[in-house]
Every structure is written in C-alpha cells, then in structure tokens.
Amino acid sequence: ALLFLTLVYKVFLAYLDAIVSIFKPVARKNIKGQNVLITGSGHGLGREMALRFASEGANLVLVDINQANNEEVRAEILKEHPELKVVAYSVDIRNEPDVEQLAKRCLADLGEIDVLVNNAGIVQCKPFMELAPQLIERTLQVNVLAHMWTIKHFLAPMMKKGRGHIVAISSIAGLIGGKYLTDYCASKFAVVGLMESLEREIHDQGANKGIHLTTICPSCMSTGMFQTFTSRFAWLLPILNAKQVANLIVDAVLENETFAAIPSITLFFHRLSYLLPVKVNLLVQDYLNYGVKPHKTQ
C-alpha cells in the first residue's frame, strides 16, 4: 500500500511539473564549446543541423559516407565560424569496427563527444515484394544498427562523466506505417523502440539526470530523399523544409526534450490511429492522401 501511495504521489508531482512547464519558459542549456557529432552530415537535414549547432558555438564532428559533400559542409562552417573546431570523417557506420575507430579518432582529435546525433538514413521506397534482400539489409544496417554502434561507443564516456546527450532522428514513419515504406518503417519504428528502451535502462541505472535522450519524428522533408510526395491537405500536413526542421531539432536538444514530432499535429494522428478500427484508419489515410509514391527504377 505504501509503494502504491508513493507512486501516486510521484505521478502527481510529474503531472504538476508538466503543467507548470507549459507556462514557464524552459531554460536552455549552453552548448558553446561542446563537441557535437552528427552522422549523415554531408547534405539535407544533417547539413542544416550542423550549421545550426555551429551557430550555437559547438565544435563539430561531421560523419558521412560522402567525403566530398562532408568537406564542403566543413568548409562552409569554418568560413562562417573560424573559431570552431570542425573535423570531417568518411565512415561506413554500418560496420561496428569502423565506428569503434571513429570513437578513438574523435577522442584523439577533438576530445569526448557531448552530443551524439544519429541522423544518417536511407530509403528504398518500393513495394515490399520488389525489395531485394540486400536492400532490406542495407536499410536496417544504416537506419538501425548504426544507431546501436554509435551509442555503444559514445554512451560509455557520457555515463562515466555523468553528462551527455543522444539524439535519434526517427520519422513519422516510425509512428505510423506507410505504403511503399515497409523496410523504412520497420527501421524507424525500431529507432523509437531503441530510444524508449534505452531511456528506461538509463533511468534504472540512476544516470538519467545527466544523460539526456531525444527522439525526433519529422514528417516528409524536401531533402531529395523521396522522389514524389502526396498531401491532399498541404496546409495541415505540409512537406517540410530541412532548415526549419533542423532549427526545431536543435531547440528540442537545448531544452532537453525527450520526444518531438514535427509538425506536432502528426502526433495527434499517431495517437488517433490506436483508437480507430483498422478499416477506419485505412479510410482516413486514403482521404488524407499523405505519403510518398514508389521510386521509379533508375
């Protein structure tokens, strides 16, 4: 009985804190001089996040398989912020040994990582029966396993010093299944599950006060990742601009938010999907006509 009453009391305090936070401005943390690592930094959302983190005074580790693009982002940042330390590495983050070497290189060149942003991702966007096994494996390797490898090698130093932040870029496709995105949705659902489970684990180990996790679920963005978008109500479910999304992500990190759906209306549709019968869900999705068309074979 005492345990239950303690639970009720703590739940009440948690709700009270949540209500107060609505009206009380959140104090943003200062990341000036901290080391931020971003995967998939050579283009699109990763590039925009790198630029925004740089504007906050953070040193950067840019990680991308495309070294030419990555170096361009590095040069762009240093031109605007010559006082920062910015390094660009070409790493295949699908391979755990390569990520282990990345961690050692970061420590030697820049020091310990304070903020890890797992952003790199790929999409096939094809009917499931047309997906070759190697394409499915590659999607899961880049979109899921790479998160695990980076967390495995960068979380330990954070735990040791009692401070750090891990950011996972999932997707609205990690909350609601979408047609022609079976492997992609599976990978993004896995990222949400990974971060939720890791949050519980860190809490259980008593390290959650200094270690922060943030999961981001943006909807469709105009980064070139998808060939064709559809949206019957673009005013409600627009195709997002990568720079706007990057700013919202960095804001969420600075405010230590645990989860953010972008735009926030997508979270409403996610929760609604669990309340509606399957047939009704399909009808609503057909009516909204929000999603992507399968990629044309090159």
Catalytic positions are 184
Q: What is the 3-state secondary structure (H, E, C) of 131-186?
A: CCHHHHHHHHHHHHHHHHHHHHHHHHHHHHHCCEEEEEECCHHHCCCCCCCHHHHH
For residues 223 and 43, is the Cβ–Cβ distance under 8 A? yes
Write out the two tokens for 40.
């998939």
Cβ atoms of 223 and 242 within 8 Å: the answer is yes
CA distance 41 to 67: 10
CB–CB of 58/49 below 8 Å? no
Distance (Å, whole) CA 28 – CA 252? 9
What is the C-alpha to C-alpha distance for residues 177 and 182, in angstroms, rounded to an integer? 8
Q: CA of 184: how far to CAs of 154, 240, 262, 275, in Å?
A: 25, 19, 18, 24
Question: By the 8 A CB rule, do 123 and 187 touch?
Answer: no
Q: Is 33 left (phi over 0), alpha (psi -120 to 50) or beta?
A: left
